[in-house]
Structure 1
Amino acid sequence: MVFTPPAWVPQLPFDPPDSIPLHEFWSNERYGRQTLDKSRNPYTCGITGKTFTAAEMTERYQLLARSLAKRMGWRPNEETPWDKVVGVYSFNSIDYVMSHFAVHRLSGIVTPANAMYSAAELEHQLKSSGAKALVTCIPLLETALKASRACNIPDNKVYIMRLPGEFPPVPFKALDELVEEGRSLPELEPLVWSKGQGARQVAYLCYSSGTSGLPKAVMIAHRNVISNIMQIRWHEEPGRRAKGVETHNQIGLLPFSHIYGLVVVALAGTYRGDGVIVLPKFELTTFLETIQRFKVNFMHIVPPIVIQMLRNPDLCGKYDLSSLRFVYTGAAPLGAETHEDMVKAFPSLQVGQGYGMTETSTVVVSTGENDVMIGTSGSLVPATRAKLIGEDGSEITEYEKRGELWVQSPSVTLGYLNNEKATSEAYVWDHDGRWMRTGDVAVVRKAPSGHEHIAVVDRLKELIKVKGHQVAPAELEAHLLSHPSVHDCTVIPVPDEGSGEVPKAFVVKSASAASKLDDEISKEIHAWVEAHKARYKWLKGGVEFIEIIPKSPSGKILRRLLKDKEREKRRANGAKL
């Protein structure tokens, strides 16, 4: 059974254009962009207040493109895009997207890199993408240079992005200097693209683990991103219209190197005229101060930040958060208990979720302000179809029955760079066209509104099989987080002779439980699960206390690291693996 968006979701007013670059779509009102006279300044620094209008940003990326063309020896309509790959390795900045658009103006490709990467990880990305230049920031410069030099990128092709704060001078050109240099250079010739080039040409190489395996470079075409910007904008429209909202301020905290922060926040929000208040990294006090100072209305965040707010009510109470209207979480599921706790703690807020992947250049399911259902990620966005495939390969036609989520959308990307095997496994064809196999387990639910919602309950490869029963780590994690002694947690499978696998919890104690003995808290946690969950979901693998749960910058739990650690410990103890 193929599922489609509910009746309240509008169709796209026109087909996503397939023959223009992303920067032209973003800048030009003829493609549905909010008119410039009604738009807020797209990017404002939450630390300093420094800001640019949309017109100023457009001018800046055009000037930067001129300077890059001269320094790199590139021309917009010469060379191939693969000859013009630029890495961007930086914390968030009001110039982050501007640097991307300058590369796109030259018909080049941007590969955004996680600011948490080590030199070795960055080196891998720069080499595999074929990057010829690197944009970084001073706090990351030492790591950036180790990687860039290992990739034979000359130092004079490493450029510095502005961040708030005082930094020592460095012998590298800053983007601001290149923008000024561009003023004295001739205008670049217009890009000349053939019909359909925007659907074929890569705009971004973003790295993802995909449905399985090590990180791979996802080839994201210009039209993929354009499509998702349109899908997000028109999916939100009914809810915003009902609230009388034309534009608003939102927080730009999520890493712009991650597809969630890049497309959903930095691009889609500003296309529809919203202002993005940019923060380089998360610190709770600064975060709350920024909401108060800039009267932030809408927050795209991740579940760990929700938990931080819930765990610090006294600190939150010191700030005026009354401007907030909607909190939107993604990158990892938000448990129903946590959702309910957030609404109780902040009664004026609505809370919603979204779901997407790098391979779908981001959102395929999203919560509208007009149709919230706790425990789901919302409804399909416009021009998207989905189906659930059971373990036996059959299509699921019932509500509340689990299956792997497959999606079709114009935002589904081109595939993985130089990895035909992974591409053929994840991007599949059947009688009904090309589908993206997400590797995520989902159910379809009927909301009280009568509309179909999708809840992503776990990853296929992360389900725990206990005597044939499927146990979703996310379900247990959401329940554990509602216990007062648990600050953070994750659940992994461990081998068991009688059951095959059993769940084991890794727990970070809450501040209120810091003085309690581990054994005491462990007994409380076991009892908490056993009082509320079926026997096969009990924590037969035990409870282990750790200092921090390993996560990606987007908030995704890195269970793999704990599985590896557990496997090594069991091997050292002579246990069966």
Structure 2
Amino acid sequence: MPFYPPSWVPELPFDPPDHISISEFMLTEHYGRNPLGYSRSPFTCGLSGKHYSALEVKERTDYLARALAKELGWLPNEGSEYDKVIGVFSVNTLDTLPLAWATHQLGGIQSPANAAYSAAELEYQLKNSGAKILFTCLPLLATAQEAAQKAGIPKNRIYLLEVPTQVTGGKALPSGMKTVDDFIREGEKLPRLEPLNWKSGDGAKKTAFLCYSSGTSGLPKGVMISHRNVIANTLQIAAFEKPFRDTKKHPLNQSDYIENVLGLLPMSHIYGLVVICHASIYRGDGVIVLPKFDFATTLQAIQTYKINSLFLVPPIIILMTKNKEMLAKFDLSSVWTLFTGAAPLGKETAEDIQKIFPSWSIRQGYGLTETSTVVCSTSPDDIWFGSSGSLLPSIEAKIVTLEGNEVTGYDQPGELLVKSPAVVLGYLNNDKANKETFQDGYMRTGDEAIIRKGPKGHEHVFIVDRIKELIKVKGHQVAPAELEAHILTHPAVNDCAVIQVPDDDAGEVPKAFVVKSPSVGLEESDHVLARQIQKHVEEHKAKYKWIKGGIEFIDAIPKSPSGKILRRYLRDKEKETRRASGARL
């Protein structure tokens, strides 16, 4: 049976429009956006304090679009969006989103790339997306130039997004390279562009962002995200949170509640791109932009800019729970909520951070690039640790067992399938993946989930783990994320990851890779410590979940910039080790 949002979740105020660009949706007040003149500065640099008002951002976006049109010969109503693909390889900047919205005014596509990419990885995305130009930043320039050359992008088509001197070390911009600010100064003197003359349906079928999703294997896939997809999820998030935000209105003049949010997560990742940079801005909030993660710098920004909402990922939350002394050095009293996504947050870790900050609402959401982000989210009024919350408006979900049978009740695991106006157009030039993922109007997530009824009577979604990464022990399914969350509660563990290894008797058994806490003394035996951690699991988990594959201590757990554990790298490492020793693969 299909599952729907709880009865308390309001419907969308109107159908997501399908005839406009994201730029028009975000920079005008025709579609419910918080009035520009009564919004916080959309983007403020958390290092320098530099910012532009919402009206200035609209103006800068328009000027940038005019100058790009002249520079590249791209006109709004000529050619396909795939003739106008702009690659972006940069840390977070004040102009990353205005550049995207300017591209949309030209009828083009922004393809954001992971700032941690190597030249070879960036080259692949530039070629696969068909990017014609590349915007980068000074710290990543050498990598960008190498990749662009191999992808056939000429030097005069590489441009710069400006970052604070704290990131560049005061290094001067290369002479002869144009920056976003150069384009904006040129565009101010140029005539207005003709508006997009889209008809009904164009916004639902034209790609706005081409983001790359790696999944659990193979090369990254280009995900075609339409204008309507982003608009829909922005409206879904806003509608879902409106009942609670309405209770936080100003007590005197009842003006709409607006706040400052943390803009630390990569704008190249769908979580940062839509949840932080579209949903927050649409509601009039201000994003405090940080180009990269530094623990002390992040805490300082929260204190300085009185940030109210923290959008984080589990590794940062784990770091917070392990460094209470550092937290105590900063005034974090402005914070009322911490929201996490991109990877599961264990119940134990949620409880740990709640003990440190009893007044915070610790919330979790779940989504994918293929759903233009959020599928379900925790309401501040209905928090249940371990849950990813309730379905957002206009979302329908099904749970299907591995045998293909549809689940009809609670507490029955299976693959989560999602139907939503935010489900994307598909994968670029990948018919095989499209057929496997998008079926009968639903998107197959590849994640095992369970629907449960919460303490307040509302349905909650629990994400167990990626189906491909579940460990099969004598027919039992073991979720790595569950074991990781428990192992992290051991005081000697700073970080960990769990994978499956072959076993003659059980088929597979769990093996843990562990990063030791700095508090562990050099004199302590690895063998003794490993046995203590195994016993910690054995005292709390069923026998088939015990770490019988052993524990290996390593320096760092491989993770994506969004905090997702890259278990495939550990599986490859394990295979090489076993191959060298002659053990079973």
What TM-score range do you get, normalising by the shorter chain? over 0.9
Q: For residues 27 and 476 of structure 2, what CA distance do their matches in structure 1 show?
A: 52
Question: Aligned ranges for residues 323-472 of structure 1 at < 5 Å?
Answer: 323-429=334-440, 434-472=441-479
Q: What is residue 538 of structure 1 aligned with on the other side? A: 546
1:203 shift after superposition: 0.3
1:152 shift after superposition: 1.5
1:514 shift after superposition: 4.2
The one of 263, 268, 273 equivalent to 1:257 is 268
Q: What is residue 151 of structure 2 aligned with on the other side? A: 151
CA contact (8 A) 2:37 2:54 kept: no
Q: What is residue 295 of structure 1 aligned with on the other side? A: 306
Deviation larger for 319-328 or 149-158: 149-158
CA contact (8 A) 1:242 1:370 kept: no
Q: For residues 278 and 458 of structure 1, what CA distance do their matches in structure 2 show?
A: 31
Q: What is residue 496 of structure 1 aligned with on the other side? A: 503
2:530 aligned with 1:522, yes or no? yes
Q: For residues 192 and 31 of structure 2, what CA distance do their matches in structure 1 show?
A: 24
Q: What is residue 210 of structure 2 aligned with on the other side? A: 205
SS of the residue 1:512 aligns to: coil
Deviation larger for 397-406 or 447-456: 397-406
1:210 shift after superposition: 4.0
Q: What is residue 563 of structure 1 aligned with on the other side? A: 571
Q: For residues 21 and 350 of structure 1, what CA distance do their matches in structure 2 show?
A: 34
Q: What's the Cα RMSD here?
A: 1.0
2:50 aligned with 1:50, yes or no? yes
SS of the residue 2:36 aligns to: coil
Task: Encode CA deviations 1:114-136: one digit per residue, 9 max, x unaligned.
Answer: 00000000000000000000000
Q: What is residue 112 of structure 1 aligned with on the other side? A: 112
1:73 shift after superposition: 1.2
Q: For residues 260 and 19 of structure 1, what CA distance do their matches in structure 2 show?
A: 25
2:133 aligned with 1:133, yes or no? yes
Moved over 4 A (4+): none
Q: What is residue 266 of structure 1 aligned with on the other side? A: 277
Would the alpha carbon gap of residues 211 and 541 (structure 1) be closer, same or farther in structure 2, given more than 3 Å must change? closer
1:517 shift after superposition: 2.1
CA contact (8 A) 2:217 2:568 kept: no
SS of the residue 2:38 aligns to: coil
The one of 501, 509, 512 equivalent to 1:505 is 512
CA contact (8 A) 1:372 1:378 kept: yes
Q: TM-score under structure 2 normalisation?
A: 0.97
Q: For residues 152 and 439 of structure 2, what CA distance do their matches in structure 1 show?
A: 37
Deviation larger for 240-249 or 448-457: 240-249
CA contact (8 A) 2:37 2:55 kept: no
Q: What is residue 172 of structure 2 aligned with on the other side? A: 168
Q: What is residue 316 of structure 1 aligned with on the other side? A: 327
Task: Encode CA deviations 1:228-282: one digit per residue, 9 max, x unaligned.
Answer: 0000111111122233371111000000000000000011100000010000011
SS of the residue 1:453 aligns to: strand
SS of the residue 1:94 aligns to: coil
1:212 shift after superposition: 5.2
Task: Encode CA deviations 1:400-441: one digit per residue, 9 max, x unaligned.
Answer: 211100000000001000001100100001xxxx00000000
Q: For residues 323 and 377 of structure 2, what CA distance do their matches in structure 1 show?
A: 28
SS of the residue 2:394 aligns to: coil
CA contact (8 A) 1:210 1:359 kept: no
1:37 shift after superposition: 2.9
2:220 aligned with 1:215, yes or no? yes
Deviation larger for 559-568 or 517-526: 517-526
Q: For residues 65 and 327 of structure 1, what CA distance do their matches in structure 2 show?
A: 35
1:92 shift after superposition: 0.3
Counterpart AA for 1:169: L
The one of 216, 225, 233 equivalent to 2:230 is 225
Would the alpha carbon gap of residues 254 and 514 (structure 1) be closer, same or farther in structure 2, given more than 3 Å must change? farther
SS of the residue 1:536 aligns to: helix
Q: For residues 497 and 241 of structure 1, what CA distance do their matches in structure 2 show?
A: 58
Q: What is residue 575 of structure 1 aligned with on the other side? A: 583
Q: What is residue 490 of structure 2 aligned with on the other side? A: 483
Task: Encode CA deviations 1:327-365: one digit per residue, 9 max, x unaligned.
Answer: 000000000000011110111111010000000000011
1:398 shift after superposition: 2.1
CA contact (8 A) 1:211 1:438 kept: no
1:211 shift after superposition: 6.8
Q: For residues 459 and 405 of structure 2, what CA distance do their matches in structure 1 show?
A: 20
CA contact (8 A) 2:365 2:374 kept: yes
CA contact (8 A) 1:240 1:369 kept: no
Would the alpha carbon gap of residues 436 and 514 (structure 1) be closer, same or farther in structure 2, given more than 3 Å must change? farther
Would the alpha carbon gap of residues 514 and 24 (structure 1) be closer, same or farther in structure 2, given more than 3 Å must change? farther
Task: Encode CA deviations 1:30-80: one digit per residue, 9 max, x unaligned.
Answer: 101011232111100000000011111111111111111111111111121
Task: Encode CA deviations 1:429-461: one digit per residue, 9 max, x unaligned.
Answer: 1xxxx0000000011111111000001011100
Q: For residues 396 and 199 of structure 1, what CA distance do their matches in structure 2 show?
A: 31
1:213 shift after superposition: 3.5
Counterpart AA for 1:20: I
Q: For residues 214 and 428 of structure 1, what CA distance do their matches in structure 2 show?
A: 22
CA contact (8 A) 1:238 1:370 kept: no
Q: For residues 195 and 536 of structure 1, what CA distance do their matches in structure 2 show?
A: 55
Counterpart AA for 1:274: D
Counterpart AA for 1:40: R
Q: For residues 126 and 184 of structure 2, what CA distance do their matches in structure 1 show?
A: 24
Task: Encode CA deviations 1:507-530: one digit per residue, 9 max, x unaligned.
Answer: 000111143221121011011011
SS of the residue 2:62 aligns to: helix
Q: For residues 106 and 147 of structure 2, what CA distance do their matches in structure 1 show?
A: 24
Would the alpha carbon gap of residues 212 and 5 (structure 1) be closer, same or farther in structure 2, given more than 3 Å must change? farther
Q: What is residue 287 of structure 2 aligned with on the other side? A: 276
SS of the residue 1:365 aligns to: strand
Specify every segment of 5 or more residues in structure 1 that has no aligned partner in the other structure, as ranges: none
SS of the residue 2:539 aligns to: helix
